[in-house]
Chain A
Amino acid sequence: MATSRVLQSFFKQMSRPTGVVGSSTRRQLSAAAASAANKAHSLPDLAYDYSALAPVVSGKIMELHHSKHHQTYVNNLNIALEQYAEAEAKNDVAAMINLQPAIRFNGGGHVNHSIFWTNLCPGGSEVPSDLLAEIDATFGSLDKFRSTFNARSAAVQGSGWGWLVLNKANGKLQIQTQPNQDPITGDVVPLLGIDVWEHAYYLDYENRRPDYLNEIWKVVNWNNVAERWHAAKE
């Protein structure tokens, strides 16, 4: 397992005579090993079967998307974090910097997809009235919100995500897109994400991303979006 390699190297260091590995290095290795063990990420389960979102998103896509794509982000994130802990323990800043793209990409993939699965449910849900009022006040209507969201998400060049976020600085709902697997960061809280990487829709919609975006609203779990919104406002 990923963490045991870090622990093994820690114990190997510990078994050397005191003169070779100073006590501060041993403390660093110990902290690195402990934090690496805590950082091991795992694939979250879906709250529904792979086939439960069909025909909007087929079981074929859901299974690949969850058990292959998301699982790979989790595996590669754990490996990158373990390597980062080792580099940090050796104070190898260049190696730490070199690992940052892998952490950004795989960590972002893990964070984004973990939110995404909860944003969906079989049959979707109604928009809770307080959130609906906020959407109406911000965007004019639910339809106007969706068409703006879809236009922005369809226009993402290459791979990325469309997001509904809460901007904590001004308390307002906003639409934001992110490239690649860059997660939402800063004083902004992600509420609803729609994956527009080709793997999210290709087997069902081919290149027709706008059609996928029109359909996906049928399975959006607005109750979950509202829960995230309430939590973000606290």
Chain B
Amino acid sequence: LHCCSLLLTSVTNMIRQAVFRGLNRTGVRSASSFPFEMPTLPYAVDALQKNGISDQTLGTHHGKHHCGYVTKLNAALESKKDLQAQTMEQLITSQPAGPIFNCAAQTWNHTFYWNSMAPGGGGSPTGKLKDAIEAQWGSVDKFKEEFSARAAGHFGSGWVWLVQQDGKLAIMDTHDAGCPLTTSGVTPLLTCDVWEHAYYIDYRQDRPSYIKSWWACVNWDFAAANMA
């Protein structure tokens, strides 16, 4: 009976991930625009619990914060007929700082974040991703040290990204709702959310411990698939 339940869970996760891969990176049906659908989590709400990110965090973070951004975005676009044909990415790159940019960027950032983690995540990168990391930082450990330091040291709300730029890998911070799509020539590979809401339930003020859990969940396959 236990075997059956494990099998069911892994089949469900496989189906969820397959459905999710059919969607574009914004987590909504391809080429969609207003009104945007609620984004889906690519795995069950308790799927990261064993690696330190609880069901309560995922439930609130996705169900309230992430979905909240989409609700607010749709509400803001109600009265903006001229923007209603734009995709999420188009809104992010066309809109100036303000409520529409914030909601679009945060929607996109959070979808990218869920994908940057996986129930089977953690471990070490392989293949061309591993080669690229070693070429830039000397070793995967050195890269993780620097990424962790940037994530822990970011003042206030924001995101830390592994990106590809000019054929090399780099670490990038964005503040508040900042999104790398607004910088030309940058391809995001992974992101870690360092807004307090990402870790306060599980780790209170202890952001470094949350970052350790993020590494235990990190989805190297997603990063490799994003490489240009």
A residues in contact (CB < 8 Å) with B: 64, 68-69, 72, 101, 105, 157-159, 179-181, 197-199, 202-203, 206-207
Contact = CB atoms under 8 A, between A and B. Distances in A.
A158 B197 contact: no
A180 B200 contact: no
A197 B60 CA distance: 17
Contacts of A197: 156, 196
Contacts of B156: 105, 158-159, 179-181, 197
Contacts of A157: 102, 176-177
Nearest to A101: B155
Contacts of B157: 158-159, 198
Contacts, number: 51
Contacts of B60: 206-207
Contact of A68 (B65, B158, B197, B205): B205
A158 B158 contact: yes
B204 interface: yes
A228 to B, nearest CB: 26
B68 interface: yes
B49 to A, nearest CB: 19
Contacts of A181: 155-156
A197 B197 CA distance: 10
B102 A198 contact: no
B195 A158 contact: yes
A207 B57 CA distance: 12
B197 A207 contact: yes
B130 interface: no
Given A159-B157, A180-B156, A207-B65, A198 B204 contact: no
A68 B177 contact: no
Interface in B132-150: none
Given A68-B205, A105-B155, A198 B200 contact: yes
B5 to A, nearest CB: 31
